[in-house]
Structure 1
Amino acid sequence: MDLCLTLLLICFCSQGETGNSNTTQPQTASTTEAPVITMTSQPPATTSMPIGASSSEEDSGGCLPVSRSPYSREIIAAAIQKLGVQLLQNLETTPEQPNIIISPLSISLGLSQLALGAVNETKELLMHYLHENTFPCYHQSLHSILMQLKNSDLHIATRIFLRFNPKEAFVTESQRFYRSEPEILESLEQINTWVESATKGKIADFLSALPPNLLLMLVNAVHFKGEWKARFDPRFTSRGVFHLDEQHMVDVEVMEDAKHPLSFFIDHELEAQVAGFPFLKSMSFLVVMPMSVETNVSSLAAKINVSDLYNRLPKDRAVQVKVPKFKLEYTQELKDVFTKLGLGEIFSNPNLAEISDGPMLVSSVMHKSSMEITEDGAEAAATTTVVISRASNPVFHLSHPFFFALIHDVTKVPVFMGVINNPNPGAPVLQKGEFGSKDKVGFPIDKNDGASFGGPPK
């Protein structure tokens, strides 16, 4: 399974800013044009997040022990989840993009690095959306969490691409907390090559052109590739259906296991089934699927507490499991949704004096992600599929829209989360009853497949 998400921040030039002999000189902005920063969010990375030292100011304030405490971990994990849920609630799906897949970790990381360069009202605004201004040791604590995340098949990379000389303190703090190394920006290919390398080839040709008046770009990439603890046998992958609602469905490939070790329960308050699929290294795929196919999953996400659900997962037991295979991409400009959430100031009149004394603004927050779920990298090849079920085993079948969170087992940080409404967007949507009575190899299709536990309502 490969998950890719990257956050890219692009800053644009300020009036009269000059670089040194080793740096490309900035363009001079007119008196009517404000220089700009672009935040762009993109997929995953290949270099692991480094160990950075805390600032002397924070260390003198006692942040080192605080940052390593379970309390700080809980606060930041909850803040990252809250930001992710706010985005899920406010991002709209389209026929071209029926699913939403984001990395709240990647987006929070981009905003956090931007906050290092902000002062006064702008800094307060960013910190409010990052942790509600309740935590004085935020950067040190986030750094501590990043240190824990790196041992879980998760790789994080950051970079500052420059066309001017920002203040030394901003670069130093970016390196200390987020290991974001500065690099003189010379070409579009330079950025796209870095992103492709950081995402292990998952995202190529990320940018088609460099924006005008570019000053700097803050880029981060998050990459995860993990193996299920209990793999699916590709021989049992077969054709099935995913219910979009009571009347519509799409054809999908379904991975099956007649006796899969699964931890799951029914949350009666959410009126949903909750299941956890663990990976080999300290990560889990948490799924929340409403009992009713008509429930709006994005709205349900507002009621979900990821860490609470994770902590309530019982001991696993043998379950007949069916999970759709999918390979999906998601691209979204986040400027409008952030403005809707109250962060409009960073796009219009931010105070980024810790980066430069010249006027700057954030021009764009672009987010791009991809996600693929398979039997664990193996190709599924079968001419005949035999579904083995046991009457004594309940069935967990992801057969209609669901919420997911890829969560770190120790910190409970939701690295990825999203809403899957249609795992096969390219397939034609069929009316209920239109799905053929036989599949390609002549086996009858049970339209109520999985109805005993998690299938569509009868």
Structure 2
Amino acid sequence: MNRQKLSGVKETFLQRRYGVSLGRRYVLAAASVVLLGVLGCSQVNNSSSALAQSDIPQSEYPLPKKIANNDTKLVNANNKFGFKLFSEILKNNSSENNIFISPSSVAIALAMTYNGASGTTQQAMAKTLELQGMSLPEINSAYASLKELLEKPSEKVQLTIANSLWARKDVSFQPDFLKTTQNFYKAQVTNLDFQDVTAPNTINNWVKEKTNGKINKIVATIKPDEVLFLINAIYFKGKWSDEFDKTQTAEHPFHLISGKQKQHPMMSQTGDYRYYENEQFQAVSLPYGLDRKISFYIFLPKQNSNLNVLYQNLSLENWEKWMTQFRKQEGFIRLPRFKTDYDVTLNDALKALGMEEAFSDKANFSNMGQNLTISQVKHKTFVEVNEEGTEAAAATSVGIQATSLRQQPEPFRMIVDRPFFCAIRDNQTGSILFMGSILEPK
């Protein structure tokens, strides 16, 4: 990458064109796409040599081996679910608050849960997770191979995906369900005394370890009727392919949605980038590592547009279309250095997306165990972007609780010693053939 400073008129031109002030809306736009870019956009299988001679934009560089058809289906399903989930979270979010989620973390945690679902509960989850048309073996195999692909070692890039199941020690679960999570999701299965006051700490310490200390707590307390926690943790750390020069970082105004502005450290860089621009936004891809297969995508609404317009168009179809439009172009970029964490309970969002039954007494998780329902889906994330690169982590917990067992009615006593009403009914048709009021039996 050409890292020399642009001088004179050229620098002024580029700063005017590319160095526009970034409002607070940038953080939201970047947050909405970063892990989607990280986990959902590296599925091209061209050879490296061919790519070097080509302008194919779908991925910075290809993955090391061809992705199976089922893996592609799963990636598309996860991305589509991610956009739906993000849109649902937006509805309940204050315009002044950052959002940062890992759709892949949520999807993996729910996919493990999906293995325990049956009947209409399974159908509802499949629709919400966009898994229709894929069998359970296909889904599990695709997750296994996708995990292997994503975690493949890369210089300057670390990506780990960890799963665990924490079961109350006095509750039995279907052996096949536990075996599946171990075989395909490499889940650590632990029987735990949920009544022990240290039980939440045991679970949280696992999350802390798997997220390199970025997420310290995902389970606050364990309710008396909770019997299982299915947890996913994702940790990502990547150094830019071309790091920002710290000496070029300076205070610049950052415009907030409210119209106010604040001075904030902004990183600057010039060079060749994969870039896309349309009437509504500018977008750039900042790659990580030497192989550049993972990128940080920034979508910046133009001055005559806004984030709402972008969000209205944020769908799997448009995302895939946009990914094909990126082209190498020389330019200047200035972006804020930032660090943020985020947490959200996803019950309402998932219910709105069609999973309401899974949270109710009607839930059918018979492939997991008897009389079970989802109590809470909790999601936490962390991200830091600076001159060296990006560090991000996510954890998702799916809590499973026992449903209220239906009490058997007490044997009744009926003493007909008062005036009464009676009827003769055809139970096949429901027709009442006779009815009467007996005030005095004779």
TM-score tier, shorter chain, comes to 0.5 to 0.7
1:96–1:217 distance in 2 versus 1, CA, 3 Å: farther
Aligned residue number for residue 385 of structure 2:
373
Determine the C-alpha separation between the residues in 2 that align with 1:97 and 1:157.
Answer: 32
Aligned residue number for residue 386 of structure 1:
none
Are 2:343 and 1:327 equivalent residues in the alignment?
no
Q: CA deviation at 1:94?
A: 4.5
1:100–1:304 distance in 2 versus 1, CA, 3 Å: farther
Q: Is the 8 A contact 2:164 2:189 kept in 1?
A: yes
Are 2:117 and 1:118 equivalent residues in the alignment?
yes
Deviation per CA, 1:416-446, whole angstroms, max 9, x where unpaired? 9xxxxxxxxxxxxxxxxxxxxxxxxxxxxxx
Aligned residue number for residue 231 of structure 2:
219
Determine the C-alpha separation between the residues in 2 that align with 1:353 and 1:274.
Answer: 46
Q: CA deviation at 1:95?
A: 5.0
Aligned residue number for residue 28 of structure 1:
none
Q: Over aligned residue pairs, what C-alpha RMSD do you find?
A: 2.7
Q: Which has the higher helix share?
A: 2
Deviation per CA, 1:149-195, whole angstroms, max 9, x where unpaired? 01252101011101122111001111111011210223121111111
1:257-336 equivalences under 5 Å are: 257=269, 259-268=270-279, 271-280=280-289, 281=291, 282-291=293-302, 292-296=304-308, 297-302=310-315, 305-315=318-328, 317-336=329-348
Instruction: Compare relative contact order (CA 8 Å, sep 6+) and give the higher one, 1 or 2.
Output: 1
TM-score (norm 1): 0.63
Q: Is the 8 A contact 2:161 2:234 kept in 1?
A: yes
Determine the C-alpha separation between the residues in 2 that align with 1:210 and 1:96.
Answer: 32
1:335-354 equivalences under 5 Å are: 335-348=347-360, 349-354=362-367
Q: Is the 8 A contact 1:244 1:293 kept in 2?
A: no
Aligned residue number for residue 75 of structure 1:
73
Q: CA deviation at 1:89?
A: 1.2
One of 63, 84, 87 as aligned partner of 1:86: 84
Task: Decide which structure has the larger Cα Rg and report it.
Answer: 2
Amino acid at match of 2:162: A
Deviation per CA, 1:270-308, whole angstroms, max 9, x where unpaired? x22121111115211112222235341433423763343
Are 2:134 and 1:135 equivalent residues in the alignment?
yes
Q: CA deviation at 1:96?
A: 9.2
Amino acid at match of 2:139: Y
Aligned residue number for residue 34 of structure 1:
none
1:192-203 equivalences under 5 Å are: 192-203=204-215
* Secondary structure of 1:158 counterpart: strand
Amino acid at match of 1:199: T
* Secondary structure of 2:215 counterpart: coil
One of 166, 169, 172 as aligned partner of 2:173: 166
Q: CA deviation at 1:69?
A: 5.0
Q: CA deviation at 1:241?
A: 2.0
Aligned residue number for residue 262 of structure 2:
250
Q: Is the 8 A contact 1:81 1:104 kept in 2?
A: yes
Deviation per CA, 1:217-241, whole angstroms, max 9, x where unpaired? 1011000000100110111111112
Amino acid at match of 2:108: L
Determine the C-alpha separation between the residues in 1 that align with 2:355 and 2:345.
Answer: 14
1:442-453 equivalences under 5 Å are: none
Q: Is the 8 A contact 2:252 2:264 kept in 1?
A: yes
Determine the C-alpha separation between the residues in 2 that align with 1:339 and 1:150.
Answer: 31
Q: Which runs of 5+ in 1 are unaligned?
A: 5-67, 379-405, 407-414, 417-458
TM-score (norm 2): 0.66
Q: Is the 8 A contact 2:246 2:267 kept in 1?
A: yes
Aligned residue number for residue 42 of structure 2:
none
1:9-28 equivalences under 5 Å are: none
Q: Is the 8 A contact 1:158 1:218 kept in 2?
A: yes
Amino acid at match of 1:175: Q
Determine the C-alpha separation between the residues in 1 that align with 2:307 and 2:232.
Answer: 34
Amino acid at match of 2:101: I
* Secondary structure of 2:160 counterpart: strand
Q: Is the 8 A contact 2:226 2:375 kept in 1?
A: no
* Secondary structure of 1:252 counterpart: strand
1:115–1:205 distance in 2 versus 1, CA, 3 Å: closer
Q: Is the 8 A contact 1:143 1:178 kept in 2?
A: yes
* Secondary structure of 1:221 counterpart: strand
Q: Is the 8 A contact 1:276 1:287 kept in 2?
A: yes
Q: Is the 8 A contact 2:288 2:389 kept in 1?
A: no
> Matched residue pairs, number?
313
Q: CA deviation at 1:132?
A: 4.2
Determine the C-alpha separation between the residues in 1 that align with 2:357 and 2:372.
Answer: 12
* Secondary structure of 1:265 counterpart: strand
Determine the C-alpha separation between the residues in 2 that align with 1:108 and 1:77.
Answer: 10
Q: Which runs of 5+ in 2 are unaligned?
A: 1-29, 32-65, 194-198, 395-442
1:95–1:295 distance in 2 versus 1, CA, 3 Å: closer
Aligned residue number for residue 401 of structure 1:
none
Q: CA deviation at 1:111?
A: 1.0
